[in-house]
């Protein structure tokens, strides 16, 4: 599915979030607390937007590895590298990888991030455990994900937007199934409390989360033990 939508993915993100997704990624990078010289892994990196944001934070001298199992998404990320990373003194590598079976040694990275990816993992606990494995003790683990606002006026807006507008725009763009899958996958996915418990079990402590946009977006964070 991600191979198929790769070329339209960035445009769809901008339309469907009214451009807010960039700000959400900036917040996630702040929560990760990465600094110049750090080495960071961005899992399910897709077209690389979170990886580029991380690269700005780890320059000069740091590196970002973006791993994803969709070659087409990675190909878009690599094409953007020229425009997004020009003049940036940070190494950025995009490479094929499955979150559930990463090829890196234990304790390789200072932090690991994943943006809008964990919802798609076939085994959430296995994926988070594998991601924690490759981060050194004391390193940060950050998850940026869509969530369902539980109450308040925004929950009505969210319903209209996610159940109505998103599939409609998807249909218009000729990507019916992907953008019907999107709201359904959010509904099926773990609530923040449950995801925090899985993140803790995966090998992190000081677990917490921050709600953005009235609960539509959640940034989970933990420190690897």
Residue among 20, 27, 69, 107 that touches ligand SAM (CB under 6 A): 69
Q: Which of residues 76-115 bind ligand SAM (CB under 6 A)?
A: 98-100, 115
The DSSP line for 48-87 is SHHHHHHHHHHTTT-EEEEEES-HHHHHHHHHHHHHHHTT
Q: Which of residues 48-67 bind ligand SAM (CB under 6 A)?
A: 49-50
Query: Does 211 engage in binding with ligand SAM (CB under 6 A)?
Result: no
Nearer to ligand SAM, 99 or 195 (CB): 99
Nearer to ligand SAM, 18 or 153 (CB): 18
Nearer to ligand SAM, 14 or 150 (CB): 14
Q: Residue 208: CA atoms inside 13 Å, Cβ hemisphere, count?
A: 6
Query: Does 117 engage in binding with ligand SAM (CB under 6 A)?
Result: yes
Q: How many CB atoms lie within 10 A of CB 66?
A: 30
Query: Does 5 engage in binding with ligand SAM (CB under 6 A)?
Result: no
Residue among 68, 130, 145, 175 that touches ligand SAM (CB under 6 A): 68
Query: Does 147 engage in binding with ligand SAM (CB under 6 A)?
Result: no
Backbone CA torsion sign across 69, 20, 217, 208: positive
CB of 151 to ligand SAM, least distance (A): 26
Structure tokens at 140: 């940060």
Nearer to ligand SAM, 37 or 174 (CB): 174
Contacting residues for 199 by C-beta, under 8 A, at least 6 apart:
128, 141, 143, 207, 220, 222
Nearer to ligand SAM, 79 or 206 (CB): 79
Contacting residues for 59 by C-beta, under 8 A, at least 6 apart:
36, 88, 89, 90
Q: Provide φ and ψ at 148, rounded to 5°.
A: -100, 120
Query: Does 70 engage in binding with ligand SAM (CB under 6 A)?
Result: yes
Residues in contact with ligand SAM by the rule CB under 6 A: 2, 44-46, 49-50, 68-70, 73, 98-100, 115-117, 120-121
């Amino acid at each position: 599915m991600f191979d198929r939508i790769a070329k339209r993915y960035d445009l769809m993100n901008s339309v469907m979030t009214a451009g807010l997704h960039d700000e959400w990624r900036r917040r996630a990078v702040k929560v990760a607390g990465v600094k110049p010289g750090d080495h960071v892994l961005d899992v399910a990196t897709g077209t690389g937007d979170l990886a580029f944001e991380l690269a700005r934070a780890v320059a000069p001298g740091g590196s970002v590895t973006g791993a994803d199992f969709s070659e087409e998404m990675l190909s878009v990320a690599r094409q953007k590298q020229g425009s997004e990373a020009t003049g940036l003194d940070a190494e950025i590598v995009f490479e094929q990888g499955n979150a559930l079976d990463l090829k890196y040694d234990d304790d390789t990275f200072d932090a690991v991030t994943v943006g809008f990816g964990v919802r798609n993992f076939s085994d959430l606990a296995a994926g988070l455990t594998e991601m924690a494995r490759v981060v050194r003790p004391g390193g940060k683990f950050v998850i940026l994900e869509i969530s369902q606002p539980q109450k308040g006026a925004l929950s009505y807006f969210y319903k209209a937007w996610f159940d109505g507008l998103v599939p409609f725009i998807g249909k218009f763009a000729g990507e019916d199934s992907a953008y019907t899958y999107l709201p359904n996958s959010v509904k099926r996915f773990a609530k923040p409390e449950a995801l925090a418990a899985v993140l803790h079990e995966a090998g992190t402590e000081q677990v917490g989360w921050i709600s953005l946009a009235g609960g539509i977006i959640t940034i989970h964070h933990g420190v690897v033990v």
